[in-house]
Amino acid sequence: MNNITSLLGKAVCSGPFSFALGFGLGVLAFYMLDRAKEKRRLEETQREIEAMVKALELKLQQESKTE
């Protein structure tokens, strides 16, 4: 059992494996941050569109009252 854990420890801590693991985690973290940023951008755009629609509806109501 001790040999297996020693072998796993050497494999996980070896240079290429450690680099690949770190690189993979970095890419995953970058992807998650990019998705979160895109989601915030879409939510902001949606709020802007809703505000414009509301402003147009108010303008149309005012114009229909004056006619």
pLDDT digits (tens, 9 = 90+) for 38-66: 999 999 999 999 999 999 999 999 988 87
CA–CA separation, 36 vs 29, rounded Å? Answer: 11
CA–CA separation, 3 vs 32, rounded Å? Answer: 37
Give the pLDDT band (50/70/90) at residue 2.
Answer: low
State the Cα angle at 56 between 52 and 60, rounded to 5°: 175
State the Cα angle at 41 between 52 and 26, rounded to 5°: 180
